[in-house]
Amino acid sequence: MPASKSISNRMLLISQLAKGQISLRNISDCDDTRAMEEALGERARVESESETETESEKSQISNDKIIDIGAAGTAMRFLTAYFATTPGEVVITGTERMRHRPIGVLVDALRRLGADIDYEGEQGFPPLRIRGTQLEGGSISMAGSVSSQYVSALLMVAPTMRNGLTLTLEGEIISRPYIDMTTSLMRRFGITVEEPDDRTFRVLPGEYTGGEYLIENDWSAASYWYEMLALADDGEIVLEGLFADSLQGDSCVQQLFEPLGISTEFNKKGAVLRKFESSRDNGQSSILNSQSIYEADLSHCPDLAQTMVATCCGMGVPFHFSGLQTLHIKETDRLLALQQELGKLGYEVEEENGSVLKSGARSEKETNRISSDSKCIDTYSDHRMAMCMAPLAMLHEGLVIKDAQVVSKSYPTFWEDIEKFKS
């Protein structure tokens, strides 16, 4: 299994703030993490060169500095906060899609803390020109319903602020496990993070301490193997390097797949997935034997939504998944993309209120029920579209995934692993 890019990107930034005193093991080898590494490495190089340059030469280096993070959304959010609190001037940009992914909530928050950030193009969107400096910090509030990455970005750089940061989240808080992951890692490396209530974070000024850290493997990537086993007639899969006491919110995939007939146990290697009989009395597993609709709020784990929708479609299980409002602003509009691509395979998926995907009719699994012309799946430059649709090839012979290399964003060896599974 690939290493967790969520943990990898957080630890790369924390390690940078700890002045390289943290030794990281099992760093994710994917596009998003490489974007973080390259941007942070380039910043270190410029700072090193600047030590021997004249003031005019320093200005020239600074003014010409462009950081292109490609399609890495996590890197855009984390690095915006990092560059805003680090002396120097950069322009941070990305792909065409990235330049249409909103970042105004984070920029507004940083500006209220004293950051000097300008939009180079459309207001509220990258590219950004950032003139970094030490921020005063203080107390601010922001919406918790837009992106947990905004919250994590602010929290991780908060110890560098003169007065630290008290951050209060307003309204619904989405993807809370990712925020908890961030605060856990910060505490692990010496930062005081207080939580006087469930929506307030108080970070005291301080310095990250050194040490070593082993990054666990990726539960988000594991979800596609849960999907494959759920669509198979029988089987067992061992996924190495996954922890039962994971920091990752997407480890809840274990519980989400229980009603679909997949059990999870752990041994010294990792997670052991088994398919059990649908008649087995295992809590919610009765959904396979009844006319019940599978209902779940996925607001804490939106990256699992595509996997869950594709799996239920393939199994003929009616569903109602809510908490999906952030899927519009991901690598693509995932709500629309799922409807379009699953529709090619004959599955009807409806959107409701911009935050719900549902399918009400229970149907039996069918294969080869459509023409081969409709079996070319578009991925919209979205790694998760490619990976969630691929297992449906078990039901639809001749399925073609276009732009297949897009999986390199998070799981570069996905297709090679599929080949091993097939053999």
Residue 84 lies in a domain: yes
For residue 378, what pLDDT band results from cuts at 50, 70 and 90? very high
pTM of full prediction above 0.75:
yes
Same domain, 144 and 271: no
Is pLDDT larger for residue 123 or for residue 372?
A: 123
User: How many whole angstroms separate alpha carbon 393 and alpha carbon 66?
Assistant: 41
The 3-state secondary structure of the chain, one letter per residue: CCECHHHHHHHHHHHHHCCCCEEEECCCCCHHHHHHHHHHHHHHHHHHHHCCCCHHHHHHHHHCCEEECCCCHHHHHHHHHHHHCCCEEEEEECCCCHHHCCCHHHHHHHHHCCCEEEECCCCCCCCEEEEECCCCCEEEEEECCCCHHHHHHHHHHHHHCCCCEEEEEECCCCCHHHHHHHHHHHHHCCCCEEEEECCEEEECCCCCCCEEEECCECHHHHHHHHHHHHHCCCCEEEEECCCCCCCCHHHHHHHHHHHHCEEEEECCCEEEEEECCCCCCCHHHHHHCCCCCEEEECCCCHHHHHHHHHHHHHHCCCEEEECCHHHHHCCCCHHHHHHHHHHHCCCCCEEECCCEEEECCCCCCCCCCCCHHHCEECCCCCHHHHHHHHHHHHCCCCCEECCHHHHHHCCCCHHHHHHHHHC
For residue 278, what pLDDT band results from cuts at 50, 70 and 90? low
Same domain, 279 and 337: yes
Residue 214 lies in a domain: no
User: Which of 51-60, 142-151, 252-261 has the largest mean confidence?
Assistant: 252-261
Predicted local distance difference test score (pLDDT) of residue 367: 42
Same domain, 56 and 164: yes
For residue 375, what pLDDT band results from cuts at 50, 70 and 90? confident
**CA torsion angle for 395, 333, 256, 213 (degrees, to 10)?**
110
Q: How far is CA 277 from CA 4, 225, 260, 280, in A?
A: 31, 18, 10, 6
Q: Are strands 319-322 and 356-359 parallel, antiparallel or unpaired?
A: antiparallel
Same domain, 192 and 243: no
Instruction: Tell the residue number behind the tokens 């890019």, with chain if given.
Output: 5
Percent of the chain with pLDDT over 90: 76
Residue 387 lies in a domain: yes
Per-residue tokens: 185: 């890692």
Predicted local distance difference test score (pLDDT) of residue 158: 98
Point out the domain boundary residue: 154, 172, 203.
Answer: 203
- Tell whether the model's pLDDT for residue 264 goes beyond 60: yes
Point out the domain boundary residue: 173, 203, 233.
Answer: 203
Residue 210 lies in a domain: no
Same domain, 180 and 228: no
For residue 287, what pLDDT band results from cuts at 50, 70 and 90? confident
Same domain, 195 and 223: no
Same domain, 309 and 181: no
Same domain, 182 and 248: no
Q: What are phi and psi of 14, to 5 degrees?
A: -60, -40
Per-residue tokens: 375: 């079996």
CB 4 within 8 A of CB 410: no
Residue 211 lies in a domain: no
Distance of CA 352 to the CA centre of its chain: 23
Phi-psi region of 192 (alpha: psi -120 to 50; beta: other; left: phi over 0): beta
Q: Find the mean pLDDT for residues 96-113.
A: 94
**Per residue in 16-40, pLDDT tens?**
999 999 999 999 999 889 999 999 9
User: How many whole angstroms separate alpha carbon 41 and alpha carbon 47?
Assistant: 10
Residue 74 lies in a domain: yes
Predicted local distance difference test score (pLDDT) of residue 361: 59
Is pLDDT larger for residue 265 or for residue 276?
A: 265
Q: CATH number, domain at 240?
A: 3.65.10.10
User: How many whole angstroms separate alpha carbon 401 and alpha carbon 116?
Assistant: 43
User: How many whole angstroms separate alpha carbon 303 and alpha carbon 306?
Assistant: 7
Residue 35 lies in a domain: yes
**Per residue in 290-345, pLDDT tens?**
668 999 999 999 999 999 999 999 999 999 999 998 887 777 799 999 999 999 99
Per-residue tokens: 141: 């509030």
Same domain, 197 and 95: yes
Same domain, 52 and 179: yes
- 218 is known as an active-site residue: no
Predicted local distance difference test score (pLDDT) of residue 421: 73
Point out the domain boundary residue: 203, 237, 256.
Answer: 203
User: How many whole angstroms separate alpha carbon 140 and alpha carbon 112?
Assistant: 8
Residue 138 lies in a domain: yes
Instruction: Tell the residue number behind the tokens 């804490």, with chain if given.
Output: 300
Domain count, the chain: 2
**Per residue in 173-183, pLDDT tens?**
988 999 999 99
Contacts of 230 (CB under 8 A, 6+ apart): 257, 260, 261, 262, 275, 311, 314, 315
Active-site residue, from 303, 333, 378, 382: 303
Domain housing 103: 5-203
- Tell whether the model's pLDDT for residue 280 goes beyond 50: no
For residue 50, what pLDDT band results from cuts at 50, 70 and 90? very low
Per-residue tokens: 414: 């996905």
Same domain, 73 and 160: yes
| Mean pLDDT for the chain overall | 88
Predicted local distance difference test score (pLDDT) of residue 51: 46
Same domain, 199 and 248: no
Q: Find the mean pLDDT for residues 349-362.
A: 86
Predicted local distance difference test score (pLDDT) of residue 109: 97
Q: What is the largest CA-CA distance in the chain?
A: 75
Contacts of 57 (CB under 8 A, 6+ apart): none
- Tell whether the model's pLDDT for residue 41 goes beyond 90: no
